[in-house]
Amino acid sequence: MDVQAWLAERTPLVDRALEALVPKADEEPVALHAAMRHLLFPGGKRFRPALALAGAEAVGASPEDGLPAAVAVELVHTYSLVHDDLPCMDDDDERRGRPTVHVAFGEPVAVLAGDALLAAAFEVLAAAFDPIHPERSALALRDLAHAAGSHALVGGQVDDLGFAGSPAASAGSPPAEGAALARQIESIHERKTAALIAAAVVCGARLAGADDETLLRLGAFGREVGLAFQIADDLLDAGEDDPCTLLRALGPDAARARADALLAGALARIEGLGEPAERLRELARFAVRREQ
């Protein structure tokens, strides 16, 4: 089965779990619950949930074992988009061809819907407690909370917001500054994008019983795939306007070469996992080579 067929089969699993876990739009307060659902249904590519399911599969378990991680990571991702779009952040009016949450429901409800999505992510993982393997959900929770926190997702977003005004971002830098600039940009993407993508793989595998050494490999794989994914995203669409992209810092050829190198590095990390990790590899290639 190719990766697109696998995604077509697995995504409804994630959608159904999200549908069951997020309060219905007719539950009070209806504006809040409708706002929480606005960006979740229909969602995006469900790439992070797919990685969580494939992370479980990679350690010889059923993809369903990673489902609570898949749902939790998608809730964190969705909360972060709702807050990123706010007028005081990126001030975006549209996402995925529809009005953003604050345009549709107002700014206060958008802030609070993001807050509630973040809390819901942890509620889902807490509910995945398994008395036979109690440490699995506890450690997945710790990983997800760290990935959502000030040293990862939120810290990356803060530095991304401050980036446009930083001296390193000024145009016409000489080559030495270009390399420093590229490192600075990758540090932001590592926290803002890659940490949550790595948490998806790791948490999915954790719930499925992965050992510590495998989790280290999967974490490194996820971070490299996350960085490559961000470059691919910027090459596809957003990069032209955004100063905080490798595309702007290095140009398209060097950016694409960096994405390919990151992908190759990521694949090398999980070479030893053999056939069960094939879906992870396919997802990584699919995510990074979308534009080609």
Binding site for its own copies (CB under 8 A): 23, 27-29, 31-33, 36, 79, 83, 86, 88-89, 107-109, 111-112, 114-116, 118-120, 122-123, 125-127, 129, 131, 134-135, 137-139, 141-142, 145-146, 148-151, 153-155, 157-159, 161-162
- Nearest alpha carbon to residue 262 among 235, 230, 239: 230
Write phi, then psi, for 94 (nearest 5 degrees).
-135, 145
Element (H, E) at 95: strand 94-95
- Nearest alpha carbon to residue 4 among 39, 46, 41: 46
94-95/98-99 β-pairing: antiparallel
* Contact between 114 and 154 (Cβ < 8 Å): no
Based on CB atoms, which residue is closest to its own copies, 149 or 272?
A: 149
- 99: three-class secondary structure by DSSP: strand
Based on CB atoms, which residue is closest to its own copies, 41 or 129?
A: 129
Based on CB atoms, which residue is closest to its own copies, 5 or 20?
A: 20
Based on CB atoms, which residue is closest to its own copies, 119 or 257?
A: 119
Q: Which two tokens stand for residue 32?
A: 């809040």
Closest distance between its own copies and the C-beta of residue 157, in Å?
A: 6
* Contact between 56 and 112 (Cβ < 8 Å): no
Closest distance between its own copies and the C-beta of residue 251, in Å?
A: 28
Q: Cα dist. 87→71, 94, 206 in Å?
A: 27, 12, 37
Based on CB atoms, which residue is closest to its own copies, 161 or 254?
A: 161
Closest distance between its own copies and the C-beta of residue 37, in Å?
A: 11
Closest distance between its own copies and the C-beta of residue 145, in Å?
A: 4
Closest distance between its own copies and the C-beta of residue 283, in Å?
A: 26
Distance, CA of 111 to CA of 108 (rounded, Å)? 5
Return the residue matching tokens 């995504």. Answer: 11
Closest distance between its own copies and the C-beta of residue 101, in Å?
A: 13
- Nearest alpha carbon to residue 215 among 70, 14, 56: 56
Closest distance between its own copies and the C-beta of residue 238, in Å?
A: 19
Based on CB atoms, which residue is closest to its own copies, 66 or 156?
A: 156
Distance, CA of 111 to CA of 160 (rounded, Å)? 19
Q: Which two tokens stand for residue 178?
A: 């270009």
Closest distance between its own copies and the C-beta of residue 281, in Å?
A: 30
- 42: three-class secondary structure by DSSP: coil
Based on CB atoms, which residue is closest to its own copies, 74 or 282?
A: 74
Based on CB atoms, which residue is closest to its own copies, 61 or 125?
A: 125
